Amino acid sequence: MSKVLVTGGAGFIGSHIIDHLYENTDWDLILLDRLSYAGSLDRLAKYRNDSRVKFYFHDFRAALSDSLINKLGKIDVIIHSGAETHVGNSLKDPEPFVQSNVLGTFNMLEASLKLRPKYFVMVSTDEVFGAAPLGVDYKEDDSFNPTNPYSGTKAAAECLAKSWAVSYQVPLILTRTMNNFGERQHCEKFIPMVMQKVLKEETVVIHVDKQDNPGARKWLHARNHADAILHLLKNGLIGTWHIPGIEVNNLEIAQIIADCIGKELKYELVDFHSFHPGHDLRYSLDGQKIEKTFWYPKLKFDEAMKETVKWTLEHKEWINA
């Protein structure tokens, strides 16, 4: 393989994919992005004059034109990581999520029929399964139960990708991941938001159930996510794969951040989920399938969290602080 196209390459996860592939392969990297509010070329400033990394401005809610297809040339891998991702935003205005996640995926799948890559990687989410009861870790073939416009559009995008894989032989590697964290994350996400609150000595709202049990996720550094994608590509592992992380509840995450900053955590427990359907208390994926291929996350959670907080404190422009 020699040339990889990454959608959403100026986004948080996309930029970490670019970084990881740049450092661990000799592949040429093309990023496709419309530079929405969540996309920023500042994440990729170090590649500004690097011939291995090229940027094309394109909104994949529109079809890729023949002229753009010709400019891209031979593409060996498409990594479709671009998406609208924030649940709260999807509840306020679902249309951009339908446009980006459903129509955008359709347009990239159609482009793949012209570009004919060796692999089409579709980056999806744990949220397609809906809330996970305590003790339940969803496996790759479990049934969908999306509960908000974001997860519904990602489930629809998965269905499109899987049907293109069968009908048009698109060589699909479909990954589902959980809460990614790391450097350069948009400030609307939980970890940067908590950092903002702690630094300003403001109260952090922690969503809980009626018994005051905090919401929980599995947390994965974005570079571990990128490393798993590279592992699947290098081994030609077509199919559906879960890339989870370490389960930690939201109160514990907030306390870890406050401890790293060296400030007291002020927090309030709020039974948000009972009154706001669509916000799920717990998500969880089973990662046994990818573990059987001998892939394990290289960056350990505790150290990665400390490094993320340290880096962000040194680059407060990313949290508007």
What is the Cα–Cα distance from 321 to 318, expressed in whole angstroms?
8
What is the Cα–Cα distance from 190 to 212, expressed in whole angstroms?
19
236 alpha carbon, distance to own chain's centre: 21
Amino acid symbol at 96: P
DSSP-H helix ranges across 126-148 = none
Please list the helix, strand and coil fractions of the chain in percent, rounded to the nearest 5, in that order: 40, 20, 40
Is residue 142 annotated as a catalytic residue, yes or no? Answer: no
Is residue 126 annotated as a catalytic residue, yes or no? Answer: yes
Is residue 127 annotated as a catalytic residue, yes or no? Answer: yes
Pair of tokens at residue 166: 């069968």
Q: Out of 150, 183, 227, 247, which one is annotated catalytic?
A: 150
Q: Out of 127, 137, 183, 247, which one is annotated catalytic?
A: 127
Closest to 295 in 3D by CA, of 249, 242, 221, 219: 242
3-state secondary structure 39-103: CCHHHHHHHCCCCCEEEEECCCCCCCCHHHHHHHCCCCEEEECCCCCCHHHHHHCCHHHHHHHHH
Q: Are the beta carbons of 227 and 293 closer than 8 angstroms?
A: no
What is the Cα–Cα distance from 61 to 178, expressed in whole angstroms?
24
Q: Out of 19, 126, 158, 247, which one is annotated catalytic?
A: 126
Residues labelled catalytic: 126-127, 150
